[in-house]
Amino acid sequence: MEKLSRKTIETNKEQPVKIIQFGEGNFMRGFVDWQIQEMNKQQLFKGNVAVVQPIDQGLGDMLKEQDYLYTVILEGLLNKEIINTSEVISVIDTVINPYKEWANYLALAENDTIEFIVSNTTEAGIQYNPADQLSDHPQQSYPGKLTALLYRRFELGKKGFTIIPCELIDRNGEKLKEIVLTYAQDWKLGDAFTDWLENENIFCCSLVDRIVPGYPRDSAAELNKKHSYEDNLMVKAEPFMLWVIEGPQSLKDTLPLEKAGLNVIVTDDMTPYRERKVHLLNGPHTAMVPLALLADIETVEEVMKDQDFRYFVDHLFADELIPMLSLPEDELTAYAEQIKERFLNPFVHHQLTSIALNSVSKYKARLLPVLLDYQKNRNELPPYMTAALAALILTYRGEKIAPQDDAAIVTRFEKAWQTPESVVETVLSDDVLWGQDLTTVPGLSTQVQHYITQLETIGSRNLIQQLNKGEKVYA
């Protein structure tokens, strides 16, 4: 079978490079590059991508072997329809490894057709490295490399860029800009460069949402046969996608993603959308995991097909999460229905044990703020979120389920469980875990202790059934 190349697939490469992309991993190829392809197909953008490897060991050579082509396979439910499509993505013009091609990397600053910079260098990528210097070829950090490129662009007297990071950290654009300005100061690049950074460049915060499982190892041979070519870089992704970009409305014209029919929102404040995703998508994941694992359920899809747990999920959304968020209720409800459809995706097989990683920090970010708002506004505790907290503490005992977390966090729970009669007080009062003393929340310690007792005596499923019936399972 022939390998995927521009000989086997007819593509249009004769388009100018308009985007520099830091990161060539599965997510960027299955999210950003796929969207650029959609714009190009409709003749709305007519631009390609120059990819920069953020680390020395990357996929550049593999992409080059396939003439920078690869396949995106969309599988899942969307608007109650099963989607199963394959599409060759042809928007990558080149991949540059700055560790071996520093001159080619800096030469990107000379290209007048480039307007945008996008990135996904993992959450750890947007970090300040005090060891980085302008004279390094290259700098180790992504912000260091970016500063060097921007400085070269400034020296050439050219216009700036619109910079849209996709890293999964809050206010990613602001954080990136802050580090770039720090390098500009540390490297003594001058006030004129700082002014150019501030006035000629736009750093956008953004929020991305698409599950991209990546290379379909288990079905690769079957897919290659179906496609009639060998593709070592094919990427699986769910059909659903969302990109919220906090930036000027002019982006709708210069980067016409929305015009291409894509689920992209350009807004002057992404905060409500971040809260929506964190609390309505990630929150239910975090709530279901300990309770479902204790009931011997293994995947998200199984949770959604289980009568007791589906009722739990539905009412977690409707009764506890949505009423506490600031966006219009109909918009939140529609988003919740999309999420439930994604949870039912028969192609993903999302293991609860994989979601269980770092459950304490996830609960703190995704559910705790809502629980506290609920208690403050209604003067009572939300039963499902409180039961999930109890189940989390119980699973961190490590008897039935091995906790997956930082060793220091696991050790804190191990020590707390050495005295079972005071474990709830010990855990909830630990501000290292929660950033505050939760024993001050009225009734929380008593209720969590009662739920733990119920989980140990009648089990998770029976507790959920009682809560679903609206029974006051209070101490």
Which residues are within 8 A (CB) of 317 and not within 5 positions of it... i.e. 6 or more apart?
A: 280, 284, 336, 339, 340
Residue-by-residue DSSP string for 209-237: E----BS-GGGHHHHHHHHTSB-TT-EEE
Classify domain 17-268 by CATH architecture: 3-Layer(aba) Sandwich (3.40)
Cα–Cα distance, 50 to 18 (Å, whole number): 8
What's the CATH code, domain 271-469? 1.10.1040.10
CA distances from 87 to 25, 38, 147, 329 (A): 17, 10, 35, 36
* CATH 1.10.1040.10 domain position(s) in the chain: 271-469
Q: Using one digit for the tens of pLDDT, what is the confidence trace for 75-116? A: 988 888 889 999 999 999 999 999 999 999 999 999 999 999
Residue ranges, CATH 3.40.50.720, the chain: 17-268
Write out the chain's pLDDT in tens, 475 residues.
899 998 887 776 679 999 999 999 999 999 999 999 999 999 999 999 999 999 888 899 999 999 999 999 999 888 888 899 999 999 999 999 999 999 999 999 999 999 999 999 876 789 899 999 999 999 999 999 999 999 999 999 999 999 999 998 889 999 999 999 999 999 999 999 999 999 999 999 999 999 888 888 888 999 999 999 999 999 999 999 999 999 999 999 999 999 999 999 999 999 989 988 889 999 999 999 999 999 999 999 999 999 999 999 999 999 999 999 988 999 999 999 989 998 988 887 788 988 888 899 899 989 999 999 999 999 999 999 999 999 999 999 998 889 988 889 999 999 999 999 999 999 999 999 999 999 999 999 999 999 999 999 999 999 999 999 986 655 5
Q: Do 67 and 6 touch, CB atoms closer than 8 A?
A: yes
Collect all residues with Cβ–Cβ distance below 8 Å to 312 and sequence separation of at least 6: 288, 291, 384, 464, 467, 468
